[in-house]
Structures are given as structure tokens and as C-alpha cells.
Structure 1
């Protein structure tokens, strides 16, 4: 059963004349008659009584017309929905974001939501490991995270920006006046760092290991605002990317070294369908 056949049937029902219906549909009468005959054969019931050149609806045809009209209406609604999706008037996108990107991401989220208010957006914050696992299970349209490897062939990578690793210290600390600090100096400080499982802590540990340094890690916390509260006391310091620092009571001191930069990327499934809303959001992130 095809939508075309339903349209032909409804026009014939409206005009009760195959010749007039065919003219209105801009097809030949034989084509119309053939398509309606095929529909009747598929339904295994006559839809019209044919008496000479006159036609009338059978009881079955009268009952079926309501369902045919509903089918056509639903199909038209579906077409309009797809047009709305294309024009960004409706739809939903789901995004995974690492915690340290929340400030930069929030600015772009506000821009996007203001420009496309009819798009529903779901944002989930998590660690890189967790977000990648959920992306591979098709739970996100894309994720925003650190990634320097770009090694998985089934994933698509788009670079957003480069981020510097910084020592976050209290504004009242003597270290706050420094223009830069070496990794060796950082290793000797009492540190409160992100919890194991975050890509940041893995990066930090590898950086210390490469220089044979044993950092003084006093605590690990899986919440950046709490890390800031510890840092504000002046008794501890932390290491984060500069994109995550926006508290007026702390200061970011760049950590010296060419390897102290990380790449923030949009990661998505390479062969998944890319919604237009997703494409627009990614363009906004990469052009920021």
C-alpha cells in the first residue's frame, strides 16, 4: 500500500468520478483505475461500486476512507516535522562535556540556545573515560573533551582550541604573582587534584613521571568547585586547564614547558547521522 494510492483513492471518493479525479491529479484515467484496482486487490475488498461510468463508495470504502485520510495527514505531519528539523525549528541534541570545559561550553550553550530556542538540549557532565564509553553506546551526539591521540578510526575528531595547564593558587598566595612556574616547583607544593579517572589527572601524572618527579598529592576530589574551595584557603594548590578557572579568589599561573598544552576536541561517531542542529553547534564551538 502506497501513499500515492491512498491519495488517488481519496480524490476519487471526493469527486465520485474516475475521469474527473484523474484530471485533478494530472494523471491518465487508466493509471488511476489501475492503482485503485491494485489497492483493492491488496485489501481484498472492493472500495467502489462501478455502475457504468458512475462510481459510489462501498461500505468498506466508506470505512477505509477515514484511515486513508489519517495516513495522509500523518505523512504530511511527518514531512513538516522533517522540514522543521532541517530548519532548526525542532529536535533534540545530547552532549557530553568534561567538567573542566563547563565555563567555555556554557558560553556557547547560551549563544546556541538563544539563536535556536526550539531545539531541546541535554547536557551530561562526566569524565573523559565515561563520556567516551557512552558515546560508543550512541548516547551522545558528540562529546567535548581533551584528546591528543585521535587514534580511534570509528571516531570523528574536530579541534576546538588549545588549553594551557596552570597551577591554580589562592589570590592571596605569594605564588599568585609569578608569571610562570616549573613542574619541579609544582611537585614540591601540597596539591589537591582531580580524582583518578579524569583525563587531567592522567595527564598530570604522566607529565611528572616523564621528569622523574614525585608530586606531593595530598587529596583527590572529583568536583572542581570543591577544589577551588580548598585552594582558596591558601593551604593547597591544584592543576587544571586554564579554561576551567573563573573564580575571582584564585589565580592561574602557567606551568612552564612545551608539553603543558592540551587539545580540546569535539568527538563524535564517524558514521553516525549528523543532525543539522549538531553541525551548527559544532561550528559555533570551533569558531569561538
Structure 2
């Protein structure tokens, strides 16, 4: 097995089209097909199947992809580090982040990045996930930190870790002294949630439906800050990331179970966009921050 086999594999996994994948790695379609066959023989499993004119990944391919993606990323970063050692980066990095990540992750990563790269100009905007996706596609953002989109379209999503959502309530709420709450116990309970067009809301609605729970959604707001402000003032609850409330003394956190709502934060890039050295460097700092925090990473 050679490095090129892995690069061809990830290209085909990304495009799911032999012609487009071959163009990406600058080989002929027949060469790509032959190299993929060699890799399949090496690992002893089919990695792709043809369904009509479509190419789909097999279960073996899905299992292999995260490990190969991680390995190639680390190899490429090591090479870039060696090539760029002793040089300060320059240019501009335009970052978009949702509220949860703009509380601590982005500021801490940005402090490290700017200390190492004082010549780089950085802009950070706190946006909704939908706005981040639109801005990356429009080339007005270089990188986004948000949750996995429902529809990737022209985006590439790199998962960072898995996150359990929690119930946030005020200190006077009946659930304030509970350690855990089953989703079914939220039946007929007053909640403030994100609007229905948000992927997180759609995921939560799926959790409610799976156990027959019908909470009373008394308010919808598109910002976590507004949700938590209502929680502090009223006897209602919100379902949010623990990161969003971890430093708030007047908000209680209650674990959710049966089922536990899960989200996957990650890095968003434009699928075919050129990634400048400064942007790649910032992304590497984000990965290291997540790794050092020992957050629950996606299965690899």
C-alpha cells in the first residue's frame, strides 16, 4: 500500500464519481479504478459499489475513511510544518463561528494563533450555522466552526468531537435539582428552542417523536443567549450545549437520556476551495485544542 492509494481513496470518497475524482488527483479514470482495486485487494474488502450510474461507499469504506482522512491530514500538516519552519505566516484568516464555540474555543485558539503569527490579520464573526455555510460558499469566509450541517452541498465537514446536549433550567425550576432527565419527562413541559429550520431543532424533534414526547414550545429564538436569558427569567427549560452554560452560576444543567441528544461539532471548508497556509495553521490549532481537552471524538 502506498500513499497515493490513500489519496485516490479519499478523492473518490469525497466525489463519489470516478471521472470527477480522477480529475481531482490528476490521473485517468482507468488509472484511478486500477489503484482503487489494488487498495481493495490490499485491505481485503470492497470499498465502493456501483449502483446503476452511482458510486456508493460500502460499510468497509465508511469504516476506513475517518482513519485515512486523519492520517493524510497529519502527514500533510507535518510536511507543511517542515517547509514553513522558521517563517511567520502572513495574509488574512476569515473565521465564522456559532455562539457556542465563540465563548471559549475560538478566543483561546485565536490567542495561540496570533501569538505565533502576529503578521496575520484575523476577522471573527459570530453567525448562525446557515449563515456560516452561505458565507463559505460565497467565499466571504475561509473557515467555519459549527455543527454538522444537514446538507453539505459544496462544503467539506471535518468532525472534531461528539457532544451531548443538556437541559438548562433556572434555579427555581422543578428540574433544577435533578441529575438526569429522560426525554419522555419533557412531555407537556414548557421549552424554548431553536426555530424548526435549524438542524439542531430537527434533531431534537426527532428525539421527542421517538418516545412520544410532546413538549410545549412556548418560544423559539435563533440565539442561545436569548434562550438562556428566558431560562433565567421564567420557569421554562432549554436544550443546549453544556459549553454554552458551563460558566453561568444562575443556570442549572441536567443531563438528558433515553435518548441522549447528540451533535457533532467540526470545521467547515469550501469543498474545492484553496486553503491558505494561515487558514490551515488555525485549523491545526483548533484540532490540538479539541484533542487536549479530551472531548469525545467521533468513532474512527
| TM-score of the pair, normalised by structure 1 | 0.63
- Deviation per residue, 1:76-96 (Å, 9 max, x gap): xxxxxxx99x93442111111
- Helix, strand or coil for the counterpart of 1:239? strand
Contact kept? 2:89, 2:278, Cα under 8 Å: no
Seen in structure 2, the aligned counterparts of structure 1 residues 252 and 88 have a Cα distance that, compared at 3 Å, is farther
Seen in structure 2, the aligned counterparts of structure 1 residues 87 and 273 have a Cα distance that, compared at 3 Å, is farther
Contact kept? 1:88, 1:277, Cα under 8 Å: no
In the alignment, does 2:184 pair up with 1:189? no
Aligned to 1:232: 232
- Alignment RMSD: 2.5
Output the CA distance in 2 between the equivalents of 1:135 and 1:233.
36
Q: Kindly report which structure 2 residues correspond to 1:240-255, keeping only aligned pairs within 5 A, or say none.
A: 240-245=240-245, 246-255=247-256
Seen in structure 2, the aligned counterparts of structure 1 residues 187 and 280 have a Cα distance that, compared at 3 Å, is farther
Aligned to 1:98: 98
Seen in structure 2, the aligned counterparts of structure 1 residues 113 and 187 have a Cα distance that, compared at 3 Å, is farther
Aligned to 2:264: 263
| TM-score of the pair, normalised by structure 2 | 0.61
Q: Give how far 1:111 is off.
A: 2.8
- Helix, strand or coil for the counterpart of 1:157? strand
In the alignment, does 2:53 pair up with 1:87? no
Aligned to 2:214: 214
Contact kept? 1:102, 1:244, Cα under 8 Å: no
Aligned to 2:126: 125
Could you tell me which runs of 5 or more consecutive residues in structure 1 were left unpaired when the two chains were aligned.
1-82
Q: Kindly report which structure 2 residues correspond to 1:1-288, keeping only aligned pairs within 5 A, or say none.
A: 87-103=87-103, 104-147=105-148, 152=153, 154-245=154-245, 246-257=247-258, 259-288=260-289
Q: Give how far 1:181 is off.
A: 0.9
Count of aligned pairs: 204
Seen in structure 2, the aligned counterparts of structure 1 residues 156 and 123 have a Cα distance that, compared at 3 Å, is same
- Helix, strand or coil for the counterpart of 1:255? strand
Output the CA distance in 2 between the equivalents of 1:89 and 1:183.
48
Q: Give how far 1:148 is off.
A: 6.6
Output the CA distance in 1 between the equivalents of 2:122 and 2:249.
29
Output the CA distance in 2 between the equivalents of 1:229 and 1:89.
41
- Helix, strand or coil for the counterpart of 1:131? helix
Output the CA distance in 2 between the equivalents of 1:195 and 1:93.
30
Larger radius of gyration: 1
Q: Give how far 1:169 is off.
A: 0.8
